[in-house]
Amino acid sequence: MMIKFKLSTSAIRTVLVSAIAAVTLVSALASAAERPRVGLVLGGGGARGAAHIGILEVLRENRIPVDCVAGTSMGGLVTGAFAAGLSPDEMLEAMGAADWRAMFNDNPPINELNPRIKYQSRRFIPGTEVGMTKEGAQALPAVVQGQKVKLFINRLVRSQYGEPLIEKMPIPVSIIATDLVTGDKVVFRDGSLTQAMRSTMSVPGLMAPVRNGEQLLVDGGLVDNVPIDEVRNRCNPDVVIAVNVGSPLMKANEIGGILTIAGQMINILTEQNVTRSLATLKPSDIYIKPDLDGISAAEFSRYAETAKRGRAAAEALLPRLKSLSVSETQYQDWLAKVTPVRGNLPVVDEVQIAGLKRVNPAYPDRYLKHYDDKPVDVDRIDKDMGLIYGDGLYDNVDFALLSTRDRNILRVTPLEKEFGPDYMRFGFNLNAVSNSPSTFNVRAAYQRTLINSLGGEWLAGVQVGNDNGVFAEYYQPLDAERLFFLEPKFSYMRGPLDIFQNNMRVAEYRVEQTKLELMAGINVGLWGPVSVGWSEYYRNADLEIGTPTTSNAAVHYHGFLAKMDFDQFDHLYDPTHGWAARGSYFYAAGDGYDKAELDLRAAESYGDYILHGRIRGAGSFTGTLPFYNAVALGGFLNLSGFARNQIIGESLAYGNVRLEKIVGRLPAGLRGDMRVGFALEGGRVNGLYTETELNGWQSSVSVYAGGETPVGMVYVGYGYSPNGLNNFYLFVGTP
């Protein structure tokens, strides 16, 4: 008996589609099973590590999936970004948006610094403080603490969506660091991704180590710069793609100072472990060493060129790399697996401040009052972390976004300085002038901070040189946010005062002045303080050289004092934009006169050119300023064609316009830039006590070169005036 089947057209279509799908599935499974597992190794090399991005471009274009990845130093940074799902284009965009020079200067712009810190930074060389602890004196552990580097890492891996954890990355990740205490290799396979990335980038001496429990972590390149063994252990790959971007050893003629010697020592250690790692490569593995000749480990600004060279190196090996390619479908499936899906930014339900032991939490909290019930704003977070760091109380300030079942918590962690809260601070200045005596002064001070819960601090110091003396002050905030304050001060100084007539130094007095101030004030945001109070002055002048021109009798005067000190410049000594306004008013009780001073400055940049303007005025509204409390013009950029304080009188008016051009920049982490400048100046002094023939307006023209350095300002200049001395100047240090 025969059984007949009659199939409809739709049924036949269904059977065929199912069959094709089954064959496709089987084929895909077979292909997936046959695909070799790929492990990617990204070595360290500083800025040369941007070549990794070009190599990742080639892997992406040729549909080469990666099953695990390990990296060291800059390779660790790219490893973290890759694991977090960033495309090569996104990495290049982040590199281009970064201000690499600013990144290696931990502090925010000066206009965003705490006014108290700003005030101290003008008197003492920033970054030279020595911590005084029970264990003894401790200096800063590195040139850079890494504050801005860590914020860059947070932004790079999209930490605003939540704290990224290594164990939750879609592919196995390993990042290598070195324990500075034991010398052991430390491998991050879990925990905070951003912390691992920051640790592996801590070049010893340049960037501060990262504390992890009892460990002090630095650059992993010291022990394993191309971690091939680690990637084998991580996912047992069939093929390892190893990328080496390390710097070659310097030649004898390239080794000069202590920095190059230290760099060479690190390179030797690195090369030794790289040689050992490369010896483990198998014939099936792929080794990529881009041609990075002429690109140093510090040249982050050449990231685009460096990435292109990495791309060229990978393209040269395309015949071998293409053997690892998969189908478009397979690659898109892999890409979907490793690329996180991000929705809307989370809303912050709560802000927590963690880790503080000595600092009142209300102090950093004053910057964090605008987050509740608002989506995370990474630009705002970066700014606020910088503001907190700018208070000068922390080694670094970090954040993490933690999500619970029903709440998003923005946890801010200010890590208090371990080498405080007592410090020694130092400053010096050398002021050499061709037509008057040069001066040299060195100052040192002991500072104690965090005396009480409101952040009281005192400072006492000594200055020796041409101007000798002692000084002491106490600063007591009156509220937890340090808005209001009390500030008593004492100083005793003894120094020279030169008297000029007809451009000749006719006398030199040795002036002693003791000053007492008791001020109360308010900090006007980040602009600076306004304060009022009472001041006492004791002054005596003894003739040492020349003809007497004034009485040497001791003088005691006192009265009401008001001051303001607003500074919104972007640099401490050598701004590119911003403004400053300083002024004071003194009423001499019982002496029948007052004294007012106002100094306004502004700067704006146009490319590499900076235009400056300044207006200064001083004098009395009531009575006549006596000689012992008179005003003066003369000195560099204060009528440069005249000696310092050469023209003394009862009132003054002064103005200048300067044009500067940036002609070079110091290496990252060493502060500012080098400039040449030209100034036009004009001023007059009324009621002359010295240079009694110089009535009316005087003019000066000056040219100079210099800039802001790790030891303060350094400049050389020449000032010319038709009626002046025409001086050559050399200045080094802090004012």
Token pair for 403: 């999500």
The pLDDT, as a whole number, for residue 122 is 85
Single out the residue of 522, 421, 445 nearest to residue 477, CA to CA.
522
Q: What pTM does this model have?
A: 0.82
Point out the least confidently predicted range of 20-34, 260-274, 316-330, 548-562. Answer: 20-34
CA–CA gap between residue 192 and residue 164 (Å, rounded): 6
CA 120 – CA 101 distance, rounded (Å): 24
Question: What confidence tens digit (pLDDT) does each residue in 200-242 have?
Answer: 998 887 788 998 888 899 998 889 999 999 999 999 999 999 9
Asked if the model's pLDDT at residue 652 lies above 90, the reply is yes
Q: How far apart are CA 385 and CA 401, in angstroms?
A: 14
If you count them, how many residues does the chain have? 735
Q: Give the single-character DSSP code of 666.
A: P
Q: What is the mean pLDDT of the chain?
A: 88
With contact defined as beta carbons under 8 Å apart, do 200 and 177 qualify?
Answer: yes
Rg of the chain on CA atoms, in Å: 33
Q: Quote the percentage of the chain above a pLDDT of 90.
A: 61
Q: Is 293 exposed, middle or buried (0-12, 13-18, 19+ CB in 10 A)?
A: exposed
Q: What pLDDT sits at residue 424?
A: 92
DSSP code for 135: T
Q: Which residues contact 113 (CB under 8 A, 6 or more apart)?
A: 107, 121, 390, 526
Average the pLDDT over 400-424 and give the result. Answer: 87
| Tens digit of each residue's pLDDT (9 = 90 or more) over 55-73 | 999 999 999 999 999 999 9
Per-residue pLDDT tens over the stretch 572-611: 888 999 999 999 999 998 898 999 999 999 999 999 999 9
Q: What 8-state DSSP symbol labels residue 202?
A: -
pLDDT tens sequence across 13-31 = 444 444 444 444 334 334 4
Q: What is the pLDDT of residues 139-182, one digit of tens each?
A: 666 668 889 999 999 999 999 888 899 999 999 999 999 999 99
Residues paired with 498 in a beta bridge: 508
Would you say residue 694 has pLDDT above 60?
yes
Between residues 571 and 612, the one the model is more confident about:
612
Tell me: the pLDDT tens digits for 503-543? 998 888 899 999 999 999 999 988 999 999 999 999 998 88
Selected residue with higher pLDDT from 560 and 135: 560
| pLDDT for the residue numbered 255 | 59
pLDDT tens sequence across 178-203: 999 999 999 999 999 999 999 999 88
